[in-house]
């Protein structure tokens, strides 16, 4: 019940409608990559062309994320979020139109890159918004990070499943059309809500301390290693289920990974405050490494693979929640949105690299080989956390916390 009360307090910052818009508004972030791959591959008959368009989208996400976050910090979430939502909706529709009309590959890659560049970043901006509204209250901030981590996991697993279902029952374009609708409606509502963070005074932002401090760079590296785990894990699961004669089970295993991760995210909120964030990060990376080792011996049966995937999932949400919490502790308040967005970009780009490395390993050494890449990335993450994640390094920055800002018109949390 204590966890429920913590989550209720976190939801009370804005109300349940904003939480719903946040969930639906970030679904396209998970839908567009797989949707682009299926659409372009299906219309061109070439996996390479589909991969090229998807890669352009991923690069756009990696480059555009910090830019959108920086603009939101300076100009405010409302105008930047609204502009991004409009541009992103148009870009998704342009990609569908170009692919359906069998346009040259360049004319499909261009809108795919724009889709990535203009992603509204509902997830990072949601975390930045809630941190500001929490007004420096650590228990409330921790509950908010846990709740937002659960929302992330739900979107991470639900988005690709929706695209796959629509591609099977209707058409590969249907998933991207739904993504465009979700961006156009839900990301817009999220941006326009009165709880949206206002822009910071530009002079104050310019005089703020630099963003790329040693603690923050270490967090970027840790999140990138987690992204490499994701990418290689996905390839390993796909290759292993195909080798077992059950290719359809891959989607179910991804969903199970998200379920166990979301469950552990709920449990994270119940941890006592005396277990500091650096300690949680070290424990989470140790659990990730242990789970990845199980993957090396789990490829023989679907049951063993499922158990190993579940163990890996248990480590995912606590790590992400902890790293986002450490970002809030270590970066200037006026650049929090940019910092959150860059952290997401690091995991996105590293996931693409992990996918490439996992695909090369599977092609050369067999279906279980991508899991070796997962183990290497998890081992590096454990070494990094073990050597650097200390209370001294990640102590809270001196100075005032991010202001709570003006009162907003929140709907009742019980509504």
Task: Judge if 244 and 390 occupy the same domain.
Answer: yes
Burial class (CB in 10 A: 0-12, 13-18, 19+), 212: exposed
Could you tell me if 6 and 59 lie in one domain?
yes
Per-residue confidence (pLDDT) for residue 247, from 0 to 100: 67
Look at residues 199, 216, 245 and tell me which one is the last residue of a structural domain: 199
How far apart, in whole angstroms, are the C-alpha atoms of residue 67 and residue 305? Answer: 39
Question: Domain containing 120: what range?
Answer: 1-199
Same domain, 87 and 212: no
DSSP state of 76: B
What is the rounded distance in angstroms from the CA atom of residue 37 to the CA atom of residue 50? Answer: 5
> Total domain count for the chain?
2
Query: In the chain, how many H helices and how many E strands?
Result: 16, 0
- For the range 377-381, what are the long-range contacts, defined as Cβ-Cβ under 8 Å and sequence gap of 24 or more? 377/225, 377/226, 377/228, 377/229, 377/232, 377/292, 378/225, 378/229, 378/285, 378/288, 378/289, 378/291, 378/292, 379/289, 379/292, 380/225, 381/222, 381/225, 381/226, 381/229, 381/285, 381/288, 381/289
Per-residue pLDDT tens digits for 237-281 = 878 887 888 766 776 787 788 778 877 877 776 676 677 888 888
Domain presence at residue 263: yes
Of the candidates 143, 119, 108, the residue with the CA atom closest to the CA atom of residue 60: 119
Residue 100: what pLDDT? Answer: 92
Q: Which pLDDT belongs to residue 200?
A: 60
Burial 39-55, CB ≥16 within 10 A → b, else e: bbbebbeeeebbbbbbb
Q: Which residues are registered as beta bridge partners of 76?
A: 198
CATH number of the domain to which 169 belongs: 1.20.1250.20
> Does residue 221 share a domain with residue 154?
no
From 156, 173, 287, select the one nearest 227 (Cα to Cα). 156
Mean pLDDT across the chain, nearest whole number?
80
Residues 184 and 239 in one domain: no
| Three-state DSSP class for residue 200 | coil
Domain-embedded: residue 126: yes
Query: Is 411 contained in some domain?
Result: no
Q: Strands of 294-369 (E only): list them.
A: none
Which residues lie across from 198 on neighbouring strands?
76
CA 188 to mean position of chain CA atoms: 19
pLDDT means over runs of 10, the chain (415 residues): 60 73 87 84 78 83 84 84 93 95 92 92 79 68 71 75 78 90 92 73 52 86 91 81 75 77 75 78 91 84 87 85 82 78 84 81 85 94 90 65 43 39
Q: Are 218 and 358 part of one and the same domain?
A: yes
Instruction: Tell whether 165 is covered by a domain.
Output: yes
Give Cα separations from 286 to 35, 234, 271 (angstroms): 34, 20, 17
Whole-number Å distance between alpha carbons of 277 and 325: 7
Q: Are residues 56 and 176 in the same domain?
A: yes
**Sequence-distant (≥ 6) Cβ neighbours of residue 303 within 8 angstroms:** none
Say if residue 2 is in the same domain as residue 124.
yes
**Cα 266 → chain centroid:** 17
Is 410 inside any structural domain?
no
In angstroms, rounded to a whole number, what is the distance separating the alpha carbons of residues 172 and 174?
5
Residue 402: inside a domain, yes or no? no
> Is the distance from CB of 154 to CB of 258 less than 8 angstroms?
yes
Residue 346 is predicted with a pLDDT of 87
Is 57 within the bounds of a domain? yes
Residue 12: DSSP 8-state: T
Whether residue 130 is found in the same domain as residue 178: yes
User: Are residues 28 and 179 in contact, defined by beta-carbon separation less than 8 angstroms?
Assistant: yes
- Residue 159 near residue 29 (C-beta atoms within 8 A): yes
Q: How far apart are CA 19 and CA 21, in angstroms?
A: 6
- 159 and 281 housed in the same domain: no
Co-location of 147 and 265 in the same domain? no
Angle at alpha carbon of residue 206, lines to 202 and 211, rounded to 5°: 120
């Amino acid at each position: 019940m204590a966890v429920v009360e913590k989550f209720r307090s976190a939801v009370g910052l804005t109300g349940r409608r904003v939480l719903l818009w946040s969930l639906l508004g970030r679904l396209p972030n998970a839908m567009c990559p797989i949707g682009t791959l299926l659409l372009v591959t299906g219309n061109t008959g070439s996996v390479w062309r589909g991969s090229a368009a998807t890669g352009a989208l991923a690069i756009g996400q990696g480059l555009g994320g910090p830019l959108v976050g920086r603009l939101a910090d300076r100009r405010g979430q409302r105008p930047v979020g609204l502009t991004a939502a409009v541009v992103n909706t148009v870009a998704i529709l342009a990609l569908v139109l170009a692919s359906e009309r069998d346009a040259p590959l360049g004319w499909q890659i261009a809108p795919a890159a724009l889709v990535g560049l203009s992603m509204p970043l509902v997830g990072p901006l949601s975390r930045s918004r809630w941190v500001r509204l929490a007004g420096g209250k650590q228990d409330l901030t921790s509950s908010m990070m846990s709740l937002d981590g659960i929302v992330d996991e739900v979107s991470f697993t639900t988005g690709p499943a929706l695209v796959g279902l629509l591609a099977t029952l209707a058409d590969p374009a249907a998933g991207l059309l739904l993504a465009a609708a979700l961006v156009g409606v839900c990301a817009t509502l999220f941006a326009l809500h009165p709880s949206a963070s206002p822009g910071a005074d530009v002079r104050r932002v310019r005089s703020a301390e630099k963003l790329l401090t040693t603690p923050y760079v270490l967090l970027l590296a840790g999140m990138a290693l987690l992204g490499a785990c994701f990418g290689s894990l996905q390839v390993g699961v796909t290759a292993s289920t195909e080798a077992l004669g059950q290719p359809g089970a891959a989607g179910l295993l991804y969903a199970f990974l998200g379920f166990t991760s979301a469950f552990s995210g709920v449990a994270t909120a119940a941890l006592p405050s005396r277990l500091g964030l650096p300690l949680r990060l070290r424990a989470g990376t140790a659990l990730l490494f242990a789970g990845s080792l199980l993957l090396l011996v789990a490829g023989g049966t679907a049951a063993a693979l499922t158990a190993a995937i579940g163990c890996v999932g248990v480590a995912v949400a606590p790590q992400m929640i902890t790293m986002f919490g450490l970002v809030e502790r270590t970066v200037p308040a006026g650049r929090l949105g940019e910092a959150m967005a860059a952290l997401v970009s690091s995991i996105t780009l590293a996931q693409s690299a992990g996918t490439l490395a996992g695909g090369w390993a599977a092609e050369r050494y067999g279906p279980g080989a991508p899991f070796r890449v997962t183990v290497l990335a998890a081992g590096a993450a454990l070494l990094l956390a073990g050597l650097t994640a200390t209370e001294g390094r990640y102590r809270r920055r001196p100075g005032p916390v991010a202001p709570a800002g003006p009162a907003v018109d929140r709907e009742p949390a019980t509504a």
